[in-house]
Amino acid sequence: MAQAVRGLFAGASANGFSMELLEALLVTLLGAVLIRLLAGVISRTLLRGLRDQSRVSIRKTITYVGIALLLVIALDQAGVELTALLGAAGVIGIAVGIASQASLSNIISGLFLVSEKAFEVGDVIRVGDRTGVVHSIDPLSIKLLTFDNLMIRIPNQQLIETELVNVTKFPVRRLDIDLTVPMSVPAQQLIDLLRSCATSVEFVLDEPEPLTLLQEIREGNLVIRFGVWFEKQNYLKARNAIFVEVQRRFREEGIRFGEPIIRIAETGSPEAASASRVVRTDG
């Protein structure tokens, strides 16, 4: 390519130094365009079958390596002595390396993250108290797009060290709801009612079967865990619909949600101690 560019200016009579600079500039510009085109074509053809994340990573690698080579060619074209430059680059590299330990750590962490395949672009992940869709996976960080439309940059090293939950890794999920009902409600009636609620909601899956688990007796009430399965893309619809259905069916059946019951025993006299007052609170 350098030869071709040189050919274009073969007849030019400008001063040699300016000409070399101009050639180097053209080589850089044309080379950058070619690298972008090449990376794009490879991404769309050879890498078509790969996951988005792998495709983007390989595309970026091709681009970065290409640009590095291009810079070397352009500098050579401009008449810069590369041997001396490479010697200087070694010294500078050590200095830069020491100064950019955090960046290097992030790059290495990024490689581990990619190889672990814990998540990919488009997954919904939870890191600490932040949840969002993975927008991009870059050498130094990942970009998370939250559901209230904020872009959060999380350094790769932090991701390696933090507990990360991939919410959409698997195609189906379970939503657990803990319901508190008075002890007077027969447990079997409650189980049947909740199973019937699950059947009524369109987005709730028939299988895996809904979970109904009598958890505990808390503050004089029965706590039951109701878990329904749904496909991950139906999360919002299923969540809203199941709450609406449970509320509707409880109202229809005349079942109230439990209120905490606190018994206060008045001490002092045996009569008073044996009698206790029941106080209901709204919790």
199 lines the binding site for another protein (CB under 8 A) = yes
Identity at 53, one-letter amino acid code: Q
- In DSSP notation, 211-278 reads EEEEEEEETTEEEEEEEEEEEGGGHHHHHHHHHHHHHHHHHHHTPPPP--EEEEEPPSSHHHHHSEEE
Residues 216-235 that bind another protein (CB under 8 A): 229, 231
The minimum distance between CB 210 and another protein, in angstroms, equals 12
The minimum distance between CB 199 and another protein, in angstroms, equals 7
Nearer to another protein, 6 or 173 (CB): 173
Q: For residue 152, list its beta bridge partners.
A: 144
Element (H, E) at 154: strand 151-155
252 lines the binding site for another protein (CB under 8 A) = no
119 lines the binding site for another protein (CB under 8 A) = no
Q: For residue 130, list its beta bridge partners.
A: 127
The minimum distance between CB 172 and another protein, in angstroms, equals 5
206 lines the binding site for another protein (CB under 8 A) = yes
Which range touches another protein (CB under 8 A), out of 115-123, 179-187, 199-207, 240-248? 199-207
Which range touches another protein (CB under 8 A), out of 118-126, 149-157, 196-204, 218-226? 196-204
Nearer to another protein, 117 or 130 (CB): 117
User: Which of 129, 148, 163, 202 lies at the binding interface for another protein (CB under 8 A)?
Assistant: 202
Residue 190 three-state SS? helix
In whole angstroms, give the CA distance from residue 239 to residue 73: 58
Residue with tokens 């999360």: 235
The minimum distance between CB 152 and another protein, in angstroms, equals 28
Which range touches another protein (CB under 8 A), out of 122-130, 152-160, 195-203, 255-263? 195-203
The minimum distance between CB 233 and another protein, in angstroms, equals 10
171 lines the binding site for another protein (CB under 8 A) = yes
Please give the C-alpha separations between residue 180 and each of 194, 196, 225, 255, in angstroms, as whole numbers. Answer: 13, 18, 9, 11
Identity at 142, one-letter amino acid code: I
User: Which of 208, 251, 266, 273 lies at the binding interface for another protein (CB under 8 A)?
Assistant: 208
In whole angstroms, give the CA distance from residue 224 to residue 222: 6
Residues near another protein (CB under 8 A), total? 13
Asked if residue 127 lies in contact with residue 144, where contact means CB atoms within 8 angstroms, the answer is yes
Task: Name the site residues for another protein (rule: CB under 8 A).
Answer: 170-172, 199, 202-208, 229, 231
